Amino acid sequence: MNKKPKETTYHYETDYLKNDDLSELKEPLSRALDLSEEDFNRLSPEVKNLLSGRRRLGVTWLDDYEVVAEVISDEGCTCGVKRGQVAVFDMRHRLKTEKSNIECCMHLLAPVLAVFYMSFDRASEGLNPLTRIWTHFECVKTTDTLAKNKARVKVYLRNAKTHEVMKKAVLDENWNLADDRSK
Q: pLDDT for 126-170, tens place per residue?
A: 666 666 667 888 888 777 766 677 888 998 888 899 999 887 766
| Domain map (residue ranges) of the chain | 23-57, 62-159
pTM of the full structure: 0.65
Top pLDDT among 8 and 108 is at 108
Mean pLDDT estimate for the chain: 76
Mean predicted confidence (pLDDT) in 7-15: 50
The reported pLDDT for the residue numbered 180 is 40
Structure confidence at residue 107 as a pLDDT band (50, 70, 90):
confident
In terms of phi and psi (left: phi > 0; alpha: psi -120 to 50; beta: otherwise), the region of 6 is beta
Mean predicted confidence (pLDDT) in 60-74: 87
The reported pLDDT for the residue numbered 178 is 38
- What is the share, in percent, of the chain residues with pLDDT greater than 90? 16
Structural contact between residues 45 and 18, judged by C-beta atoms closer than 8 angstroms: yes
